[in-house]
């Protein structure tokens, strides 16, 4: 079948090929071969050179088998598909975001959560839902394993990280997730995640796992805020009670110790006083046995010296008489300084 275009009938393909072969036979083939060889040489030289950037490590495969690593710089390889080079960014810390995405990084970084609610909502161990945003930073430790152990290493890492976070958060209660216990949970996630990646042997080292923002879902956020306020008030009251306890208990202990020491001192004083009285009485008894009359008279006079000053009026009675004779008011005169 022939197609008409511009009023002329084009030549069939087989005739065009035959004419090209005739031209090569008549002496034009040498020039074409020279051009082809030149192009082939240029292609070979161009394809044998490759460059590895500063943050990259090249993996050189020869006939599909691992040959060597290529450090940053310009290198030469065997062309025509014998050597193939694959590059991995081993000098850069990669980051995976969960529950949000960075739109624009800079001094004022812009984020978005649009269509990512299902990724950030997690169920805690006490059957509460929390909105968790977190990041995972990792670095390629073995570029060959990272490139060829698993078909899609980034997706695999994301799936493992998400499963691990949901497992750890699912074993904790909502209070631990929403408070300062998040750092402990992040450390546990990081350790478990590194163990799993080591078992996969994909040449990845976890740098850090960090919770960016943890909030209750919007429909219950007001209730969670009230609970947090109540928890803070409870903690404040506990701290106040502890402060008062630390102030009053040592004070009470000091007062009690002082009272005990005063009682012990009083007991020692009374005992010593009793012992002194006993010694005095025994000494007096010894003297009394030596001279009863003199000792009795002396005790009588000493007793009067103690009793008479406390009397307001003194009467001396005559044993043979019937009337009482008053004694001069020596006390009143003595108080006035007169005799």
Residues 253, 288: one domain?
yes
CA 59/CA 146 separation, integer angstroms: 11
Residue 300 within a domain: yes
Whole-Å CA distances, 2 to 5, 11, 105, 145, 181: 10, 9, 61, 57, 81
Residue 231 within a domain: no
pLDDT value of position 19:
64
Domain boundary residue, one of 70, 88, 106 = 88
Q: Distance between terminal CA atoms of the chain?
A: 172
CATH number of the CATH domain containing 109: 3.30.479.30
Give the closest residue to 208 by CA, choosing from 132, 138, 160.
138
pLDDT value of position 174:
81
Residue 175 within a domain: yes
Residues 211, 133: one domain?
yes
pLDDT value of position 22:
64
Average pLDDT over residues 57-86: 90
Query: Following DSSP, what letter does each residue of 179-220 receive, concatenated?
Result: STTHHHHHHHHHHHHHHHHHHHT--EEEEEEEEEEEE--GGG
pLDDT tens digit string along 132-161? 899 999 999 999 999 998 889 999 999 999
pLDDT tens digit string along 287-338? 888 888 888 888 888 888 888 888 777 666 666 656 655 555 555 554 544 4
Report the share of the chain in percent with pLDDT over 70: 83
Residues 178, 140: one domain?
yes
Residues 82, 101: one domain?
no
Report the share of the chain in percent with pLDDT over 90: 40
- Owning domain of residue 262: 243-330
Residue 228 within a domain: no
Whether the per-residue pLDDT at 5 is higher than 50: the answer is no
Q: pLDDT band at 4, cuts 50/70/90? A: very low
Residues 143, 206: one domain?
yes
Domain boundary residue, one of 59, 88, 117 = 88
Where is pLDDT greater, at 338 or 66? 66
Residues 107, 76: one domain?
no
pLDDT value of position 6:
42
Query: Following DSSP, what letter does each residue of 86-112 receive, concatenated?
Result: EEE-TTS-EEEEES-EEEE-SSS-EEE
Where is pLDDT greater, at 55 or 321? 55
pLDDT value of position 11:
56
Whether the per-residue pLDDT at 42 is higher than 60: the answer is yes
- 18-22, 96-100, 111-115: least confidently modelled range: 18-22
Neighbours of 109 (CB within 10 A): 9
pLDDT tens digit string along 170-224? 998 887 887 768 888 999 999 999 999 999 999 999 999 999 888 887 777 787 7
pLDDT value of position 26:
59
Residues 193, 131: one domain?
yes
Residue 335 within a domain: no
Residues 63/82, Cβ–Cβ less than 8 Å: yes
Residues 100/118, Cβ–Cβ less than 8 Å: no
Residues 124, 206: one domain?
yes
Number of domains in the chain: 3
Residues 103, 196: one domain?
yes
Where is pLDDT greater, at 172 or 35? 172
Residues 203, 248: one domain?
no
pLDDT value of position 3:
38
- 77-81, 175-179, 231-235, 334-338: least confidently modelled range: 334-338
Residue with tokens 């990041």: 135
Task: Look up residue 117 and give its two tokens.
Answer: 């609610």
Average pLDDT over residues 223-227: 78
Q: pLDDT band at 243, cuts 50/70/90? A: very high
Whether the per-residue pLDDT at 261 is higher than 90: the answer is yes
Domain boundary residue, one of 66, 88, 110 = 88
């Amino acid at each position: 079948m022939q197609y008409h275009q511009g009023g002329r009938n084009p030549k069939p393909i087989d005739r065009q090929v035959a004419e090209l072969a005739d031209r090569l036979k008549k002496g034009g083939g040498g020039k074409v071969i020279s051009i082809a060889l030149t192009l082939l040489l240029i292609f070979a030289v161009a394809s044998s050179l490759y460059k590895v950037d500063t943050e990259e490590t090249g993996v050189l495969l020869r006939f599909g088998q691992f040959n060597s690593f290529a450090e940053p710089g310009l290198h030469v390889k065997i062309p025509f598909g014998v050597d193939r080079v694959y590059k991995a960014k081993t000098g850069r810390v990669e980051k995976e975001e969960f529950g949000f995405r960075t739109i624009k990084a800079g001094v004022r970084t812009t984020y978005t959560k649009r269509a990512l609610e299902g990724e950030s909502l997690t169920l805690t161990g006490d059957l509460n839902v929390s909105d968790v945003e977190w990041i995972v930073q990792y670095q390629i430790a073995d570029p060959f394993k990272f490139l060829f152990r698993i078909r899609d290493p980034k997706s695999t890492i994301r799936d493992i990280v998400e499963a691990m976070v949901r497992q750890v958060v699912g074993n904790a209660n909502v209070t631990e997730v929403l408070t300062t216990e998040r750092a402990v949970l992040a450390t546990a996630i990081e350790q478990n995640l590194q163990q799993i990646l080591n078992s996969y042997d994909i040449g990845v080292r976890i740098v850090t796992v960090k919770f960016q923002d943890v909030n209750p879902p919007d429909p219950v956020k007001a209730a969670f805020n009230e609970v947090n306020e109540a928890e803070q008030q409870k903690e404040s009251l506990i701290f106040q009670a502890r402060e008062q306890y630390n102030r009053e208990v040592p004070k009470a202990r000091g007062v009690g110790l002082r009272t005990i020491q005063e009682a012990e001192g009083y007991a020692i004083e009374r005992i010593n006083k009793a012992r002194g009285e006993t010694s005095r009485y025994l000494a007096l008894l010894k003297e009394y046995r030596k001279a009863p009359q003199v000792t009795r008279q002396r005790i009588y006079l000493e007793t009067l010296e103690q009793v008479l000053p406390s009397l307001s009026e003194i009467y001396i009675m005559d044993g043979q008489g019937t009337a009482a004779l008053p004694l001069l008011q020596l006390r009143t005169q003595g108080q006035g300084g007169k005799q």
